[in-house]
Amino acid sequence: MELRPATREEFDDFSRAAMSAFHREFSDEDRARYEKIDEPERSLAWFDDGRIVATTMAFTRTLTVPGATVGCAGVTAVAVVPTHRRRGLLTAMMRRQLEDVRARGEPVAGLWASEAGIYGRFGYGVGATQAHVVARRPAARLAAPPSPGGPLRSGPAGEHLEAMRAVHDRVRRDRPGMLDRAGPWWPDRLHDPQSLRRGAQPVRAVVTDDGYALYAVRPEFDEDGAAGNVGVRELVAVTREARAVLWAFLLDQDLTRTVTWELAPVDEPLWLMVTDPRAVRRKLGDGLWVRLVDVAAALAAREYATDPEVVLEVTDAFCPWNEGRYRLAGGACEPTDADPDLALDVAALGAAYLGGPTLHELAAAGRVRELRPGALARASSAFRGEVAPWCPEVF
């Protein structure tokens, strides 16, 4: 058995192994997509007698954190084929990957978990929560008609790429959890093959000067008449006026009964914008999982609502270089021998890192221990961000 990066020439074998573990066939369509975004030098694969039996890879991304951006390894394609499970291959592969991420100087790694029970043991915590939003038409009506803004434009998504790029870049710098979309990432965001549409029409965009929405309509009729759905892929707005204009457009599509958004931010205000809040249902779930690969560098990189002035005792059995006590104060984070104020493991620290789950909430869940009275309240307030973290794209 050998663990090493897969080469570009081994791309097809790597992809087949990864997708087979997710019960999917590797198609020509998949090849055309992944050839544009894959970074073979950041892959890892277990080879058994020349055959790839386990995979993982990382994308080189930039992640927004409170008040700053940091280099982030976007972990993806984590898979072990069924014949080789329960042998420790995944654990060894994930440890090697985090060592490689550390060597590259990226303080943070992030991923989307297909099975949520796996990644806590590797030090990942749920750093961003998502909301699945379903609005029922015609009950979901905006309480206040939106103020007229700039021109509203709609059409095939690709025709509005530059306008959406500009809006996204304005918003993502202030919303923790969002990622840059340099190079191939905007074209990949608009990837819209027939095989993934689930009966919907091609993705379209509606754009204002300060916002945009990506959406696709699935036409449908039943015994009660028109029952179509407007599926929102992404809605990004700089101003509340732009958000209202976009929602007014999406909620006014003829021949539809519902508007759904599977990956909305947890603080999406639509239910407060309509006359009947029960016309908008929300279901919460985990979104981006965050792993601090270099605790000191990651904590020093972000800003805080107030000065935390706290000594953290961090346990990290999977990446022992992180184990120890850190003094976080005055915009710096340094190792220390001082008595700790709070004790927590690195997964809980990753969960709190973007300003989502608070240290208070994590303490209530038994994930943080207060060792000095008053430290929990002070640190929890400092870590909290102005807006909820949100990652709108699965990678």
CA distance 219 to 163: 27
Cis omega (within 30 of 0) for bond into 145: no
In single-letter form, the type of residue at position 120 comes to: G
Task: Let me know: does 113 contact 105? Beta carbons within 8 Å.
Answer: no
395 among known catalytic residues? yes
Q: 14, 212, 326, 395: which is the annotated catalytic residue? A: 395
Which one, of 318, 319, 379, 307, lies nearest residue 343 by Cα?
379
CA distance 59 to 62: 10
> Is the four-CA dihedral 355, 360, 365, 367 of positive or negative sign?
positive
Q: 119, 124, 212, 304: which is the annotated catalytic residue? A: 119
Residue-wise burial string across 296-306, b where 16 or more C-beta atoms lie within 10 A, e elsewhere: bbbbbbbebee
**Helix-helix angle 11-21:28-37, to 10 degrees:** 110
Residues 6+ apart with CB under 8 A from 344: 312, 313, 314, 315, 359, 362, 367, 368, 369
Which one, of 122, 36, 35, 117, lies nearest residue 75 by Cα?
122
- Using left for φ > 0, alpha for ψ between -120 and 50, and beta otherwise, residue 294 falls in beta
215 among known catalytic residues? no
Q: How many CA atoms lie within 13 A of 166 on its CB side?
A: 8
Q: What are residue 344's DSSP bridge partners? A: 314, 368
Task: Let me know: does 22 contact 39? Beta carbons within 8 Å.
Answer: no
CA distance 196 to 107: 34
Q: What are the DSSP E strand ranges found in 30-90?
A: 43-48, 51-65, 68-80
Residues taking part in catalysis: 119, 395
